[in-house]
Amino acid sequence: MGFARKLPVQVAVLAPRGLYIAPVGGFTWCEIRPGKLGLPAMDDFRLPAEVLIGLVEDCSHETGVNVKQIDLIGFSQGAAFSYTLALLYPDRIRALAALSGIMPKGAEDLLAKRLPAGKPVFIAHGRQDKMIPVEEARRSVALLEASGARVMYCESDGGHKVNAECFSGLADLFG
């Protein structure tokens, strides 16, 4: 949540944790089963996407915050989940930031059909990322640009984190 102080003051932040307990501790947005390794697919995130949209609706009713369109920020697997949300609910997502993440398998088929032209997307990735190679971010940029998205890309010398120099892109996206 360190990035939250960089966002405009009128922004309401909802930071849900993943639905599933990760085998190594923490939480994930898709169920990790023994023997199931590799990149997550769109279908892995469909149920959590429905749950999250319901949570946003519930928060809207409780707080009075307008959520007809929301902005997403996802880090690592959360970035893959954010891509999924943007493709499953394109009219609900105003802008998207994918930080040190991947485009999930199966997204390519939906990009041209579901992502509105000009959708603002910010991608940040470190060239020294040992968990998710920077080539995944570059691939995502190419796919999104080919589908008509307005992509802002920040590549840094960092690892699996968001480098300070890329934080300004978040403020530009959501400002």
CA-CA-CA-CA torsion sign (22, 28, 33, 37): negative
Angle at 116 between CA 110 and CA 117, to 5 degrees: 115
- Domain segments of the chain: what residues? 68-174
Inform me whether the pLDDT recorded for 5 exceeds 70: no
- Cα 8 from Cα 121, distance rounded (Å): 18
Sole residue written with tokens 């993440």: 101
**By the 8 A CB rule, do 118 and 149 touch?**
yes
- Cα 159 from Cα 142, distance rounded (Å): 21
Q: What is the CA radius of gyration of the chain?
A: 15
Looking at 11-15, 62-66, 82-86, 96-100, which range is the least confident one? 11-15
- Cα 104 from Cα 77, distance rounded (Å): 9
Res. 169 pLDDT band, cuts 50 70 90: confident
Token pair of 57, please? 């609706």
In terms of Cβ atoms closer than 10 Å to its own Cβ (0-12, 13-18, 19+), residue 59 is middle
* pLDDT tens for each residue of 29-69: 888 766 655 678 899 999 999 999 999 888 888 887 778 88
pLDDT score of 10: 63
Inform me whether the pLDDT recorded for 104 exceeds 70: yes
- Of all residues in the chain, the percent with pLDDT exceeding 90 is 49
Domain made up of 68-174: CATH architecture: 3-Layer(aba) Sandwich (3.40)
pLDDT score of 87: 94
